Amino acid sequence: MRAPSPYRVCFVCTGNICRSPMAESVFRAYAGEAGFDGLVEVDSAGTGPWHEGDGADRRAISVLTAHGYEQSHIARQFQAGWFSALDLVIALDSGHLRELRALAPTPEDAAKVRLLRDYDPHANPDALGGLDVPDPYFGGTDDFEACLEMIEAASEGLLDAVSEALATRGTPAPAASAAPVTSVTPPAPEENA
């Protein structure tokens, strides 16, 4: 019997060095702790090319490390061709949501794009900033801590949604952690020298 295909989630922010790699690390940890290793693949990207090839912002790494999250990351830009391989594309703010839906090749692909904080039952869409995870890039450590808190608050609800999606596919309940969660999107093509 063939193993079920993994459920693929990609988090997207602007440059793929702050919010989306933080969300990737947090959700990968949540999925692993829930026994979804091998059943869920987690990745991240940015809407623009500004930081392609760079690691995550040092402040993001510091905050993740302080909270016990592992992080290994190289920034890249989201590509429209990735939609066909993904089950869910998670935007970190409403600007990313609009950009990604406009980039989607089909209405079905556009429907895969959701805001992360849609999964936080305590997030107030009427509050200043709505359901956006504010960009901490021009701020300090406190801004990265606040970003992490928002990501963690939404990750459990997202995990519940992914679990329901897997059940709908007929995927068996998660077993004990066996293999690391892997990256979903193809590596950036190498340029010819």
Catalytic (active-site) positions: 13, 19, 135
- Cβ neighbors of 175 (< 8 A, separation 6 or more) are 35
What single-letter amino acid sits at 152? E
**Helix, strand, or coil here: 115?**
strand
In the block, residue with structure tokens 């930081």: 51
Amino acid symbol at 9: V
Dihedral, CA of residue 184, residue 190, residue 191 and residue 192, to nearest 10: -150
Q: Quickly list H helices, 68-185.
A: 94-103, 107-110, 141-169
CA pair distance 41, 32, nearest whole angstrom:
10
